[in-house]
């Protein structure tokens, strides 16, 4: 796992190649093995590979989502607000588990934030996606994870660049 984390970077440029069905299946398994508060599993995941729907997802925000159109796969991570008060945490954990599993399969990915983001000045990204995806009222989107074979290789972060001042021992230390 630490080797995976040493190499981990967000990938926003994707090769045209599709993700093989066996790999898609592993991604579904990883998601469903995610931990959630009290085991409520308040999430649902929409796997999108259709080019026209990918293009619509790419328009979820004014910036920071356009690269979804070139992804081979986007996973829309949805939370059921009526099932858990900590659906954001549960969806976030599933999102990062998905990203790390994708990386372990040789795929690149990037998180696109949807919760609390705007599609335009008078429409939330969630409202926009409700219309695109036909989401019921109790369902909100936390993130969209864009996935595909990488067409860029961002440099891994060097050990010496890590901010160890963020680590405190026993009690808060002013640094
Ligand atoms: C909660 C969260 C939301 C993010 N939202 C976006 C986003 O909307 N668009 C985007 O391009 N990247 C997004 N990212 C990716 C971050 O920009 C990226 O992780 C950060 O710049 C560090 O780069 P690295 O992942 O390559 O280490 C998000 C990451 C997280 C964890």
- Tens digit of pLDDT for each residue in 69-85? 999 999 999 999 999 99
Burial letters for 97-114: b for 16+ Cβ neighbours within 10 Å, e otherwise?
bbbbbbbebebbbbbbbb
* Within-domain flag for 33: yes
**Using one digit for the tens of pLDDT, what is the confidence trace for 97-142?**
999 999 999 999 999 999 999 999 999 999 999 999 999 999 999 9
The answer to whether residue 160 sits within a structural domain is no
Q: Considering the domain boundaries, does residue 166 fall inside one?
A: no
Q: Which atom of ligand 1 has the smallest separation from the CA of 117?
A: 8
**25 band by pLDDT with thresholds 50, 70 and 90:** very high
pLDDT band at 160 (very low <50, low <70, confident <90, very high): very high
Chain-wide mean pLDDT for the chain? 98
pLDDT-derived band of residue 52, with 50, 70 and 90 as boundaries? very high
Q: For residue 175, what are its two tokens?
A: 């640094």
Instruction: Give the closest residue (by CA) to ligand 1 atom 20.
Output: 10
Contacts of residue 7, Cβ cutoff 8 Å, sequence gap at least 6 = 103, 156
Which residues are CB-contacts of 128 (< 8 A; sequence separation ≥ 6)? 59, 60, 119, 120
Kindly list the protein residues whose Cβ atom lies closer than 6 A to any atom of ligand 1: 9-10, 12, 64, 110-113, 154
Please indicate, yes or no, if residue 158 is contained in any of the structural domains. no
Query: How many folded domains does the chain comprise?
Result: 1
Residue 119 lies in a domain: yes
What pLDDT score was predicted for residue 135? 98
Q: Is residue 159 part of a domain?
A: no
For residue 19, give its domain range: 2-152
Residue 113 is part of a domain; what is its CATH number? 3.40.109.10
The reply to whether 120 falls in a domain is yes
Model confidence at 167, in pLDDT bands (50, 70, 90)? very high
Q: Is residue 157 part of a domain?
A: no
Ligand 1: distance of its center to the CA of 113 in Å?
8
Q: Which residue has the higher pLDDT, 16 or 89?
A: 89
- Of all protein residues, whose CA lies closest to atom 30 belonging to ligand 1? 111
Confidence of residue 13 (pLDDT cuts 50, 70, 90): very high
């Amino acid at each position: 796992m630490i080797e995976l984390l040493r190499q981990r970077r967000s990938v926003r440029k994707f090769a045209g190649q599709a993700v093989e069905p066996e790999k898609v299946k592993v991604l579904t398994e990883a998601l469903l093995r995610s931990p959630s508060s009290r085991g409520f599993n308040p999430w649902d995941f929409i796997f999108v590979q259709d080019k026209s729907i990918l293009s619509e997802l790419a328009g979820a925000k004014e910036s920071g989502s356009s690269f979804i159109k070139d992804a081979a796969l986007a996973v829309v991570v949805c939370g059921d607000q009526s099932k858990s008060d900590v659906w954001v945490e549960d969806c976030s954990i599933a999102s990062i588990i998905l990203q790390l599993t994708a990386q372990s399969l040789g795929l690149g990915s990037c998180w696109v934030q949807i919760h609390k983001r705007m599609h335009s000045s008078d429409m939330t990204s969630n409202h926009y996606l409700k219309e695109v995806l036909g989401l019921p009222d109790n369902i909100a989107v936390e993130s969209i994870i864009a996935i595909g074979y990488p067409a860029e290789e961002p440099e891994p972060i060097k050990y010496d660049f890590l901010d160890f001042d963020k680590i405190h021992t026993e009690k808060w230390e002013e640094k």
